[in-house]
Amino acid sequence: MSDITRLETGPRMSQAVIHNGVVYLAGQVGTPGGSVTEQTQAILASIDRLLVEAGTDKTRLLTAQIWLSDIGAGFADMNAAWEAWAAKGHTPARWTGEAKLATPDYKVEIIVTAALP
C-alpha cells in the first residue's frame, strides 16, 4: 500500500493529492471578475506552483479538464493563454466543456493530473 500525501489541505479539500506517482490537483480558478485571459493565466501560474510543490512540472502533465462558463465567448482567449504556457511536445490529454462555475465571477476552472519524475 502506498502513502497518500496532501498539499494545502483545508476543511473542504486539498489543493493537491499525491498517490502512486500521480499528482491530482483540485480545480484551480483565477481572480474573480478578471477576463478569461487573466483568469487562465492566474490558474496556470497556480498549477505551476502546485506542481513544483508536489515535485513535478508541466512537462509531466497527464490530463487537463478545462471548464468555461461560456465556451463560445471564452474558448479562443483561454486557448491563446494555454498555448503560450503549455510545454511544447508535452501537452496532456485534454478536454474542454461549458459549465456553471461556483459564481458568475469565475469564467475558467482547470483541473490537471501529472506524473512524478
Q: CA 115 to CA 117: how far, in whole Å?
A: 6
**CATH fold group of domain 4-115:** 60s Ribosomal Protein L30; Chain: A; (3.30.1330)
Mean pLDDT (10-residue bins), the chain, 117 residues: 90 97 98 96 98 98 98 98 98 98 97 98
Where along the chain do its domains lie? Answer: 4-115
pLDDT at position 44: 98
Looking at residue 2, its pLDDT comes to 73
Query: Of 27, 30, 26, whose CA–CA distance to 39 is shortest?
Result: 30
